[in-house]
Amino acid sequence: MKASVNQPQKLAFAPVAPPKPPAPPITEQTLKIKSGDTLMAVLVNAGVNRTEAHNSIEALREVWDPRKLRPGDEITVTFDAAAAQGDEVFKGFSFEPQPALRVGAVRETDGAFAPAEEKAPVLTQAYRAEGTITASLFQNGVEAGVPVAVLVELIKAYSYDVDFQRDIQPGDSFEVMFERESTEDGRTVREGDVHYAALTLSGQRYEIYRYEDTTGDVDYYDAKGHSVRKALLRTPINGARLSSGFGMRRHPVLGYSKMHKGSDFAAPTGTPIYAAGDGVIAKSGPFSSYGNYVRIRHNSEYDTAYAHMSRIAKGMAPGKRVKQGDVIGYVGSTGRSTGPHLHYEILKNGKHVNPQKVRFPTGRILEGTELARFEETMGETRSVYASLPSATEVAAAK
Ligand SMILES: [Zn+2]
């Protein structure tokens, strides 16, 4: 429009900004920890002087042990190229030792270093998985998406009742509900607790529920509120490491016979062997055809014995007190043995009994208000489980 063309141009006078000092250029270096590196060496290599490197590491120590640094961790080192000083000032460093956690040290205005710790929000979610056992609970569990840590916990909880070498048959099945903590961007922080599991072995169903009692003790109970914990373990070895009992052509004896008097568990050499129950070491050392042998006296009635060990754990001398689950030795093939396995015996009043048949006295039984609380927890657990899609369904839907 003509009119507008002839109008004098209006000039806007912007207020003059007061002169600002130029923002100090902050520079960052990211350095990957290599095997054998110390944090000190990494900081010094980045150009930090030794005193400041030392002081900043001391600050870190309040929130994180620098010795826990692992190869592959990435350290971000920050400098401020302050013009006035003509030299770079070390501002601090940080790294992420695990998802959802950043730790480090920050230089404060007085020049001292303060520890820094930043936690990202963590989401806890329940997951459900189920499957049929064709190889082993461990292998089929992994295939069904159950994390290894969860399977290990699960197998441990069942080791009082289940003989993982003999009781698991092809076609048996499992169900499990566990928790996973993850960051908002989907990285796993922690594989959490097993809340519920069921094993169906040769048609018999074994359910376990996680329950925290009124005193804060956490344990697994069956649906009647009986603790899974027994005085002795039926599988005194990490069940996750057992070679599959079925489908193997060559195998040690693997059963109980009058002549054999024990149960064999086939596992790789070096697999830890656990004390089946609390007790005192009664005998330890080479013992004729048993090879390296340990016997534990549990009470006036029961003893257990472990044979063919590659070696006996340190300190397991007669008289030594052990707790259920303590490592007493390692699987081997010493003595009269055809391959690495644990030969496990249970003796009652000095006589061998069949470990597969012996009934252990039940452990804790919940009663009264404790039982009522447990039943409430069990009800909630069951309804959460029923509401979750199974891992198999989730995989199929994708
Ligand atoms: Zn044997």
pLDDT tens by residue, 214-241:
999 999 999 999 999 999 999 999 888 8
Question: How is residue 13 annotated by DSSP?
Answer: -
pLDDT band, residue 359 (cuts 50/70/90): confident
> Domain 244-360 class?
mainly beta
CB 364 within 8 A of CB 218: no
- 106-164 confidence digits (pLDDT tens): 999 888 999 999 998 999 999 999 999 998 899 999 999 999 999 999 999 999 999 98
pLDDT band, residue 304 (cuts 50/70/90): very high
At position 48, the amino acid (one-letter code) is V
Mean per-residue pLDDT over the chain, rounded: 87
Q: For residue 265, report the distance from its CA to the centre of ligand 1, in Å.
A: 8
pLDDT band, residue 392 (cuts 50/70/90): low
Q: For residue 261, report the distance from its CA to the centre of ligand 1, in Å.
A: 7
Q: For residue 262, report the distance from its CA to the centre of ligand 1, in Å.
A: 6
Q: For residue 273, report the distance from its CA to the centre of ligand 1, in Å.
A: 14
pLDDT at 278: 95
pLDDT at 15: 54
Among residues of the chain, what percentage have pLDDT more than 90?
A: 63
CB 194 within 8 A of CB 381: no
Q: Give residues with Cβ within 8 angstroms of 386, minimum separation 6.
A: none
Q: For residue 98, report the distance from its CA to the centre of ligand 1, in Å.
A: 44
Continuous segment of H or E residues that includes residue 312: strand 311-312
Architecture of domain 122-230+362-398: Roll (3.10)
Among residues of the chain, what percentage have pLDDT more than 70?
A: 86
Q: For residue 313, report the distance from its CA to the centre of ligand 1, in Å.
A: 20
- What's the average model confidence in pLDDT over 1-11? 47
pLDDT band, residue 383 (cuts 50/70/90): very high
Rounded to the nearest 10°, the torsion over CA 55, 56, 58, 60 is: 170
Q: For residue 324, report the distance from its CA to the centre of ligand 1, in Å.
A: 22
- Is residue 93 predicted with pLDDT exceeding 70? yes
- 320-356 confidence digits (pLDDT tens): 999 999 999 999 999 998 889 999 999 999 999 988 8
- Is residue 201 predicted with pLDDT exceeding 50? yes
- What's the average model confidence in pLDDT over 300-324? 96
Q: For residue 341, report the distance from its CA to the centre of ligand 1, in Å.
A: 8
Q: For residue 283, report the distance from its CA to the centre of ligand 1, in Å.
A: 18
Range with top average pLDDT, 66-70, 78-82, 104-108, 389-393 = 104-108
Task: Supply angle C-alpha 189, 192, 193, rounded to 5.
Answer: 170
Q: For residue 253, report the distance from its CA to the centre of ligand 1, in Å.
A: 6
- What's the average model confidence in pLDDT over 63-70? 91
Q: For residue 366, report the distance from its CA to the centre of ligand 1, in Å.
A: 37
- Is residue 249 predicted with pLDDT exceeding 50? no
pLDDT at 2: 42
Q: What would you report as the CA-atom Rg of the chain, rounded to the nearest whole angstrom?
A: 31
- Is residue 251 predicted with pLDDT exceeding 90? no
Q: For residue 346, report the distance from its CA to the centre of ligand 1, in Å.
A: 12
Question: Is this prediction's ipTM beyond 0.95?
Answer: yes
Residue ranges, comma separated, of all CATH 3.10.450.350 domains in the chain are 26-119, 122-230+362-398
At position 324, the amino acid (one-letter code) is Q
At position 280, the amino acid (one-letter code) is V
Tokens of 48: 């930090």
Q: What is the DSSP string of 208-224?
A: EEEEE-TTS-EEEE-TT
pLDDT band, residue 358 (cuts 50/70/90): confident
- Is residue 1 predicted with pLDDT exceeding 70? no
Q: For residue 235, report the distance from its CA to the centre of ligand 1, in Å.
A: 14
- Is residue 375 predicted with pLDDT exceeding 60? yes
- What's the average model confidence in pLDDT over 80-85? 64
**Placement of tokens 């695990």 in the chain:** 98
CATH 3.10.450.350 fits 26-119, yes or no: yes
User: d(Cα 149, Cα 129) in Å, to the nearest integer?
Assistant: 14
Residue ranges, comma separated, of all CATH 2.70.70.10 domains in the chain are 244-360
For the ranges 249-253, 301-305, 379-383, the lowest mean pLDDT is seen at 249-253
User: d(Cα 30, Cα 25) in Å, to the nearest integer?
Assistant: 16
